Structure formats: structure tokens, C-alpha cells
Amino acid sequence: MKFDRTFRTVIVLFIILVILISSYFVQDIISKNNVASVEETDLSLTGAKLSDSTYAKMVVSGTWDSAVGVANQFDFTIFNADKYDLANWTISIQVPAGSVLDNYWGSEAELDKSTGLLVIKPTSYNNTILSDGNITFGIIVSAKEAFSPTSLHLQGYKILNNNTSLARRIVEVFIGIWAIVFIGFLVTRLNFRNYREKQKNDIKIILQSMNTFINFIDAKDPYTRGHSKRVAMYAAEIAKRMRLPEDDIQNIYYAGLLHDAGKISVPDAVLNKPGVLTKEERTMIQNHTVAGGKMLVQLSSLKGVRETALYHHERYDGSGYPDGLKGEMIPLFARIVGVADAYDAMSSNRVYRRHLNKDEIIEEIQKGAGTQFDPRIVTYMVDMINDGYVNVVKMETADNDESYGKFNLTEEDIPGVYMGF
Ligand SMILES: [Fe+2]
């Protein structure tokens, strides 16, 4: 399966999105189910740690006589300087056999008399110690004598704290926006692809219709076979180099293809006459512009095609035909096709002369700048000759140009003037 670059990029971005979302959930699941427990057995009871920032401390805050013997008060503090909240925590201490739980506060406590383990659990008020928080609570245990617990254990679940996870919020928002944009992009792209497919098909139909019509023109004037296609390609390239909009480039290509449509109305004998033309014959040939304009009047949906057929023989100085339009009055497409048409006529063999060579063509075109041609367009055409673009076009259209190279005229046969119609 072949994918274009944009589609590959979308796939890569999609995979990254999946990884991001998965890692987000995995992190969440891990953080919520992480049971961290560290047992501290140091008799100094400096603290039991879950981590460097989450730990418990215990102090013996007093002893006094009781009915059993000695009452021992122990106060506990759990510090949570972590970025996580601490949930479902328990603290447990080992107490001597025979101890009695006298009192407790700030928590719930349960003494297992068989093991001597006193487990202190959170109450409903403080079952979660928030990030950067701490709680204090205490118990009184009566025993035969004063004692210090031999071990202190702290257990709990670390869970992510919403207040401290600004970065996570940002990631959530980012992922949300990204997902919306991504889905939007996918939908748009899918629609755009369908649209492009349809557009491609439409263009194919237009081109096939045009080529069929061009075959009629070529059948009448076999010496210029391939001319329309080459002119279309030169004109489109000029438009591209002039940075005209994409639609204009497309339309100028159609305009180039059909610029000589009116030739179909010119009698074959006149069109292919090798000798000097009479005034009437010249008028008949020149009339292909007006005829083309009339024939293409129905093709109004393709911008500039009719005007190009009508005005591609106007001259920049106003001495052209059919209307003697001058300068910018001549539609841009017609000015561009005019230059492309002239180049192709000069570089192809005609019934009345052989093609000119590269230097002669450049000289002729430059001579015509400002008189026959729009000077700005001339510079693009000359560039295309010099950088070899025109040769690429000739190679691409070689199959259509069956007459190319069939002439064996000598240099002397070159009339020296361009006689494009
Ligand atoms: Fe023409």
C-alpha cells in the first residue's frame, strides 16, 4: 500500500497520541495502586518512612500511674511533604503483653492482644493526608510498667493530588485539544481526499474532452501536431513562475489547449498553403481568433479560455488582431499564451519554413518585448528557454509531434520573420 507524506505524518502523530494517552492512563493506574511501605525498627523511633518526604514520628509524651500499672501516652505525627496524597494509612506499634488500650484520639485504634500489635487507622475525618499536610493523633496504653514500643510501622497508598498536578492538568488539556484537532484533521482530510478524487476525475473528463477536440484541430493542421499541448504546458509554466493562483494555472493550461480552436473553421487549403497568402486568405486565417471566441462562448465555467482564443494574437503595442487591444487591456491569459504560442511556432517546423535555433528564437522574442509581447512575460519565457524547461516539454509531447524533424529545409529557407497564426 502506498501512502503519501502527509498521510504517513498523520499515522506517526496518531501513534504518538496513542502512546501519550496510554502512558497517561498507565501512570494514573500505577500511582493509584502503588502500595508503598517501609518498616522502621529503630528503637530510637526517629520515624518510619514511606519516603524521604512521607514519614511518621512518635514521641512518648507522658506516663502516670493507672489501675493496670502505668499509663503511657504516645503522640504520633505523620508528615506528608510529597506531591502525592497519602490515603488509607495505618500506623502500628508493638506493645508489651497484657497491655490495655485506655484511650485514643484523632484516629481509630485496635489492639490485638494475642500478638501485642496496636494498629492505628484513620478516621473518616483524616483518612487522607493531603500533599504538604500532616496530622497528629495519640493513644494511651496502660501496661505493667512504662515502655517504649519496639517498632513503628507506617503503611499507606500514595495517590496523585489534583491540586499539585498542574502539569498533569496541562497535559490533559493538551491531549484533549490535540485529540479534537486530530479527529477534525482526519475527517477533513478524508473529505478532502474524496473531493480531490472527484476533482481529479472531473479534470480527467475535461482533458479527455479537450484532447478529443484538439484531435479535430490537429487533423486539419497536421504540421502543428502537438502545438496546442506544448503551448498549454509553456503557458502553465509561465503562470506558475509568475506565481499565479493554482486555479489560474489550471485554467491557463485549458486556455492554451484550446487557443487555436477557431482554426477548425479555416479551410484546409488555406491553412496548409505553403506559398504566400493572399489578403483574403490571410483574413480567413486571422479570423480563427473570432471563430474560436464564438465557439468557446459556452465554456464560461473555465475562466479565460474564450478570451484567450479571441485575443491571443493581439499585440502589446495595439497593432494585433482582432480588436487591436493594447498593453494591459489584453487579458493576461491571452498575453501569456501569445508568448508561448510564438515560441512554439518559432521552434517548430512549419509548412513555409524550418524552425529557428535557440539564439535566434531568444533574439526574436526579446525584439518583440514591448511591441508584440508583454515584456514581463518575455523574461519568463526566455528563462524557460535558457534553463531547458522547453526541452522537457518537447520530450514529453514528442509522441504527439509526429511531423517534427520531417522537414529538410535549409537555413536559407528561414524567412527571418516569425509567421505564427
Ligand atoms: Fe493562433
305 within some domain:
yes
Nearest-angstrom CA–CA distance, 105 and 287: 111
340 within some domain:
yes
57-61, 282-286, 307-311: which has the minimum mean pLDDT? 57-61
In the reported structure, the alpha carbon of residue 202 is separated from the centroid of ligand 1 by a whole-number distance in angstroms of 27
In the reported structure, the alpha carbon of residue 327 is separated from the centroid of ligand 1 by a whole-number distance in angstroms of 18
The reply to whether 347 and 258 lie within a common domain is: yes
Residue 237, domain extent: 221-413
In the reported structure, the alpha carbon of residue 100 is separated from the centroid of ligand 1 by a whole-number distance in angstroms of 116
**Strands (DSSP E) found in 187-234:** none
In the reported structure, the alpha carbon of residue 287 is separated from the centroid of ligand 1 by a whole-number distance in angstroms of 9
> 411 near 360, Cβ under 8 Å?
no
Nearest-angstrom CA–CA distance, 369 and 363: 10
Q: What is the pLDDT of residue 191?
A: 84
Mean pLDDT along residues 316-345? 95
| CATH code of 121's domain | 2.60.40.290
φ/ψ (deg, to 5) at 89: -80, 155
Beta-carbon contacts of 90 under 8 Å, excluding residues fewer than 6 positions away, are 119, 120, 121, 122, 153, 154, 155, 156
In the reported structure, the alpha carbon of residue 160 is separated from the centroid of ligand 1 by a whole-number distance in angstroms of 79
In the reported structure, the alpha carbon of residue 191 is separated from the centroid of ligand 1 by a whole-number distance in angstroms of 41
Nearest-angstrom CA–CA distance, 237 and 219: 26
In the reported structure, the alpha carbon of residue 232 is separated from the centroid of ligand 1 by a whole-number distance in angstroms of 12
The reply to whether 322 and 227 lie within a common domain is: yes
The reply to whether 254 and 109 lie within a common domain is: no
In the reported structure, the alpha carbon of residue 258 is separated from the centroid of ligand 1 by a whole-number distance in angstroms of 10
The reply to whether 229 and 360 lie within a common domain is: yes
In the reported structure, the alpha carbon of residue 347 is separated from the centroid of ligand 1 by a whole-number distance in angstroms of 15
172-186, 240-254, 322-336: which has the minimum mean pLDDT? 172-186
21 within some domain:
no
357 within some domain:
yes
In the reported structure, the alpha carbon of residue 209 is separated from the centroid of ligand 1 by a whole-number distance in angstroms of 20
In the reported structure, the alpha carbon of residue 350 is separated from the centroid of ligand 1 by a whole-number distance in angstroms of 14
In the reported structure, the alpha carbon of residue 338 is separated from the centroid of ligand 1 by a whole-number distance in angstroms of 8
In the reported structure, the alpha carbon of residue 318 is separated from the centroid of ligand 1 by a whole-number distance in angstroms of 17
| CATH code of 317's domain | 1.10.3210.10
- In percent, how much of the chain has pLDDT > 90? 31
Residue 397 scores a pLDDT above 70 = yes
Domain end residue (candidates: 113, 143, 161): 161
In the reported structure, the alpha carbon of residue 345 is separated from the centroid of ligand 1 by a whole-number distance in angstroms of 10
267 within some domain:
yes
In the reported structure, the alpha carbon of residue 366 is separated from the centroid of ligand 1 by a whole-number distance in angstroms of 20
Nearest-angstrom CA–CA distance, 353 and 338: 20
The reply to whether 246 and 143 lie within a common domain is: no
In the reported structure, the alpha carbon of residue 314 is separated from the centroid of ligand 1 by a whole-number distance in angstroms of 10
Domain end residue (candidates: 134, 161, 188): 161
Q: What is the pLDDT of residue 121?
A: 87
Residue 31 scores a pLDDT above 90 = no
In the reported structure, the alpha carbon of residue 358 is separated from the centroid of ligand 1 by a whole-number distance in angstroms of 22
117 within some domain:
yes
The reply to whether 396 and 252 lie within a common domain is: yes
In the reported structure, the alpha carbon of residue 309 is separated from the centroid of ligand 1 by a whole-number distance in angstroms of 7
In the reported structure, the alpha carbon of residue 335 is separated from the centroid of ligand 1 by a whole-number distance in angstroms of 12
Q: What is the pLDDT of residue 290?
A: 96
The alpha carbons of the chain give a radius of gyration, in whole angstroms, of 46
Residues facing 369 on adjacent strands: 373
Residue 7 scores a pLDDT above 80 = no
In the reported structure, the alpha carbon of residue 180 is separated from the centroid of ligand 1 by a whole-number distance in angstroms of 54
How many other C-beta atoms lie within 10 A of the C-beta of residue 82?
A: 20
In the reported structure, the alpha carbon of residue 364 is separated from the centroid of ligand 1 by a whole-number distance in angstroms of 18
Which of 300, 191, 312, 206 is CA-nearest to residue 250?
A: 206
Q: What is the pLDDT of residue 231?
A: 92
The reply to whether 369 and 279 lie within a common domain is: yes
In the reported structure, the alpha carbon of residue 285 is separated from the centroid of ligand 1 by a whole-number distance in angstroms of 9
Q: Which residue has the higher pLDDT, 376 or 411?
A: 376
The reply to whether 100 and 247 lie within a common domain is: no
Residue 345 scores a pLDDT above 50 = yes
In the reported structure, the alpha carbon of residue 223 is separated from the centroid of ligand 1 by a whole-number distance in angstroms of 14
Angle CA(34)–CA(163)–CA(17) in degrees, nearest 5?
Answer: 70
Residues facing 133 on adjacent strands: 80
5-14, 226-235, 282-291, 363-372: which has the minimum mean pLDDT? 5-14
Nearest-angstrom CA–CA distance, 420 and 409: 18
The reply to whether 228 and 139 lie within a common domain is: no
324 within some domain:
yes
Residue 399 scores a pLDDT above 70 = no
30-39, 234-243, 291-300, 318-327: which has the minimum mean pLDDT? 30-39
Nearest-angstrom CA–CA distance, 359 and 336: 21
Residues facing 93 on adjacent strands: 118, 152
167 within some domain:
no
- Could you tell me the three cell numbers for 44? 530510637
Q: Which residue has the higher pLDDT, 282 or 6?
A: 282
φ/ψ (deg, to 5) at 324: 65, 35
Beta-carbon contacts of 18 under 8 Å, excluding residues fewer than 6 positions away, are none
Task: Note every long-range contact of 59-68, with CB atoms under 8 Å and residues 24 or more positions apart, other chains counting.
Answer: 60/148, 61/138, 63/146, 66/102, 66/142, 67/142, 68/98, 68/99, 68/100, 68/142, 68/143, 68/144
Nearest-angstrom CA–CA distance, 410 and 421: 22
In the reported structure, the alpha carbon of residue 204 is separated from the centroid of ligand 1 by a whole-number distance in angstroms of 25
- Could you tell me the three cell numbers for 322? 482582432
Give CA torsion, residues 409, 413, 416, 420, to 10 deg.
-60
In the reported structure, the alpha carbon of residue 288 is separated from the centroid of ligand 1 by a whole-number distance in angstroms of 7
The reply to whether 125 and 236 lie within a common domain is: no
Nearest-angstrom CA–CA distance, 370 and 335: 11
Going edge to edge, which strands form the sheet with 100-105? 48-51, 54-65, 70-80, 133-143, 100-105
Q: What is the pLDDT of residue 243?
A: 95
- Number of structural domains found in the chain: 2
DSSP state of 164: T
Domain end residue (candidates: 161, 194, 209): 161
> 163 near 131, Cβ under 8 Å?
yes
Separation in Å, CA 144 to CA 97, 99, 115, 120, 180: 9, 7, 17, 21, 69
The reply to whether 226 and 148 lie within a common domain is: no
Q: What is the pLDDT of residues 94-113, one digit of tens each?
A: 899 889 998 888 888 898 88
The reply to whether 249 and 359 lie within a common domain is: yes
Which of 203, 177, 208, 231 is CA-nearest to residue 342?
A: 231
Which position has the grid cell 474524496? 194
